[in-house]
Structure 1
Amino acid sequence: MKRLLTIALITAASVANAQNTSKQEVAPELVEQRETLKKEITTDYLALKNNLLISDSVAVTANAKGLADALAKFKFKKLTLDQMNLSTTTRKEIIDLANEIAATKNINKQRKAFATLSVKFWNIAAKLKPMDLPLYQQVCPMTGEIWLSDSKEIKNPYYPKNMLTCGEVKASL
């Protein structure tokens, strides 16, 4: 009986050790994959904004589709149930808005949907932002519309011909 108990304890310890070892080996790879996905999401958002600056509705369509696809793959971690529900709902709303942008080539409709998308994106940006990339929330004081940028320099994606530099940095991550 003692021998059986000893074997059971040794086996349990070996299994626990193997699980800990595999977690330690896998964790850095998973962290790297998650950071890569965060970079993809943020890059797609920023490319969308930058293509609105140059009024390239075809490129905006492609960026919006990329953003929707990348966000669909993203899973939130380390949130309370309420935070998880709110973040998941917001992500779905952003995906729907990105798909709305992708469904039209009308630059004015794209900009209008982007305004709503940007507000929602900012609400969960802290969870989506890669560790090595600063994000700045910028706002046009004349319209109140916001957008995110990786630079403090103001380039207004809503009115690039008339008010390119109209705006200010309101917050940063």
Structure 2
Amino acid sequence: MKRLLTIALIAVASVANAQNTSKQEVTPELVEQRESLKKEITADYLALKTNLVTSDSVVATISAKSLAGALNKFKFKKLTLDQMNLATTTRKEIIDLANEIAATKNINKQRKAFATLSEKFWTIAAKIKPMDLPLYQQVCPMTGEVWLSDSKEIENPYYPKNMLTCGEVKASL
């Protein structure tokens, strides 16, 4: 009986300890770290877009690897279970697409994967974007392909030689 009571007390104590450690106190340092990670993710995405605008497939592989790595570190907060499942699934799909881009130096394959990546990135952009940075969803009306930018100026990453300025702002955050 005494042993059973001891086991029960240990179990209760470990559950209480797990709850305390899983709910870290929100400190200014943690907020700053999270904001820094959001800036890194957004900067990596924007660098990848710029690499495609300049048709630099080699540097695009580096930016894509960096984006995948930063997204791997990001944890979503304050979401319902359904929202969390959707956001986590979308993040994994974006990481897979970034890794696909990183795995090839074929600019056309990179652009094709980037089109899907951009659509998915927009669905979670509000949760990932830094507080002080506007994001614009832009679209090429000729193709319907979207991308994100931190500027209203159009630089089409899909057809930079023929249609660099082809596009329009579709939405903003």
Note the alpha carbon deviations across 1:130-160, whole angstroms, 9 max, x for none.
0000000000000000000000000000000
| SS of the residue 1:171 aligns to | strand
Match of 1:133 in 2: 133
| SS of the residue 1:41 aligns to | helix
| SS of the residue 1:162 aligns to | helix
Match of 2:34 in 1: 34
Computed over aligned residues only, the root mean square deviation of the Cα atoms, in angstroms, reads 1.2
| SS of the residue 1:151 aligns to | coil
Whole-angstrom distance in 2 between the partners of 1:49 and 1:139: 13
1:100 aligns with 2:100: yes
Note the alpha carbon deviations across 1:39-84, whole angstroms, 9 max, x for none.
0000000000001000000100000000000000000000000000
Match of 1:12 in 2: none
Q: Which amino acid aligns with 2:97?
A: L
Matches within 5 A, 1:13-162: 23=25, 27-162=27-162
Note the alpha carbon deviations across 1:73-127, whole angstroms, 9 max, x for none.
0000000000000000000000000000000000000000000000000000000
Of all paired residues, the percent bearing the same amino acid is 85
Q: Which amino acid aligns with 2:161?
A: K
Q: Which amino acid aligns with 1:47?
A: A
Q: Which amino acid aligns with 1:39?
A: K
Match of 2:6 in 1: none
Residue 27 of structure 1 deviates from its aligned partner by 1.1
For structure 2, the residue ranges without an aligned partner over 5 or more in a row are: 1-19
Q: Which amino acid aligns with 1:70?
A: A
Name segments (4+ residues, structure 1) moved above 2 Å.
none
| SS of the residue 1:161 aligns to | helix
Q: Which amino acid aligns with 1:50?
A: T
Match of 1:14 in 2: none
Match of 1:9 in 2: none
Whole-angstrom distance in 2 between the partners of 1:70 and 1:93: 14
Whole-angstrom distance in 2 between the partners of 1:58 and 1:132: 30
Whole-angstrom distance in 1 between the partners of 2:108 and 2:126: 28
Whole-angstrom distance in 1 between the partners of 2:73 and 2:155: 30
For structure 1, the residue ranges without an aligned partner over 5 or more in a row are: 1-18
Q: So what's the TM-score if we normalise by structure 2?
A: 0.86
Q: Which amino acid aligns with 2:159?
A: Y
| SS of the residue 1:137 aligns to | strand
Q: Which amino acid aligns with 1:74?
A: F
